[in-house]
Amino acid sequence: MDKKVCDLLIIRNIKLNHDNYLLELESDELLGTIVPGQFVNVLVPDAPSTFLRRPFSIHETNISNNRFSILVKVVGEGTRKLGLLQPGNHLNVIFPLGNGFSRPKNYEKILLIGGGVGIAPMMHMARESKELGAEIHILLGARTDKDHILIEDFSKHGPVYLTTNDGSLGVHGFVTHHPVFSADHHFNRIYCCGPDPMTHAVAAKAAQLDIDCEVSLENMMACGFGVCLCCVTSTTSGNQCVCTEGPVFNTKQLKWQI
């Protein structure tokens, strides 16, 4: 689908917990096709210290209403401003950007892994994969029980497994410590999004278990549509832009030391 720059209407801005917001946006034009794993680049209004746009994964879509949502974790001035936006405000957005995850086959069994705000693209992915007929399992990692969000929504699409770094909810430890990996699941593919150390650990685990693995990367970028060449990652085909060749890469493409 063609990329476009639009002022989207904010329908809702829901505070999910102490530092996460779910922003639902509506376009007055048809949205077109959005692939799970694609992202948007958002111009933060009234934030002079935020010079560049901020990229966010598309969390979920509602094509019939021309709506989609993004998950915003407050980490700085720009995301703090986004948390303050009200329904009726507009947000200038470039979308849809990036390649998105591969589509699972209807007979496949897949594991979706999200860490922290990296759970964002997995809602759209879980719903569409289920609609395609795949069997979905969802593994979510967070620092503490207070950082876990949207568990009920995820559980509509398949069994949800949880880990926390401090053991306050689910399995104590990182996502790779969860017994779902040792169980007799025989996943066809793992899809993963989260902080760098987590995606590396998942990639290593997948390689050890000989499971195909796709990761969504979150490199810093200036433009989001392949012209600034700032967000590159080293791949078997040389340096590639995370914004256009990614953000999703099969771990076999990446030159990671795992």
Partner 1 sequence: MTASGTFGNGVEFDDFIDINKLGGILLKGTTLHHREGNDYPRMAETPSGMLNAVGLQNKGAQYFCEHIYPKVARYNTKVIVNVNGSTIEEYIELTQQIAELEHIAAIELNISCPNVKEGGMAFGTSCPMAEQVTRAVRKVYPKTLIVKLSPNVTNIVEIARAVEAQGADSISLVNTFLGMAIHAESRRPVLSTITGGLSGPAIKPIALRMVWQVAQAVKVPVIGMGGIMNATDAIEFMIAGASAVQVGTANFIDPLITMKIIAGIEEYLNRHKMSSVNELIGSLQM
Q: Which residues bind partner 1 (CB under 8 A)?
A: 2-5, 43, 48-53, 94, 219-223, 225-234, 238-239
Say whether 126 sits in a helix, a strand or coil. helix
Tell me how far apart the alpha carbons of residues 34 and 95 are, in angstroms, rounded to a whole number: 9
Question: In terms of DSSP bridges, do strands 212-216 and 248-250 run parallel, antiparallel, or are they unpaired?
Answer: antiparallel
Q: How far is the CB of 80 from partner 1 (least distance, A)?
A: 15
Q: How far is the CB of 239 from partner 1 (least distance, A)?
A: 5
Q: How far is the CB of 196 from partner 1 (least distance, A)?
A: 11
Q: How far is the CB of 50 from partner 1 (least distance, A)?
A: 8
Question: Which CB atom, from 110 or from 223, has the smaller least distance to partner 1?
Answer: 223
Question: Which CB atom, from 30 or from 220, has the smaller least distance to partner 1?
Answer: 220
Contact 108, 57 (CB under 8 A): no
For the chain, helix, strand, coil in percent to 5 are 20, 35, 45
First to last CA, the chain: 35
Question: Which CB atom, from 4 or from 156, has the smaller least distance to partner 1?
Answer: 4
Q: How far is the CB of 248 from partner 1 (least distance, A)?
A: 17
Question: Which CB atom, from 63 or from 227, has the smaller least distance to partner 1?
Answer: 227
Question: Which CB atom, from 47 or from 180, has the smaller least distance to partner 1?
Answer: 47
Q: What does each C-alpha distance from 242 to 6, 130, 166, 183, 196 come to in angstroms?
A: 22, 27, 32, 33, 14
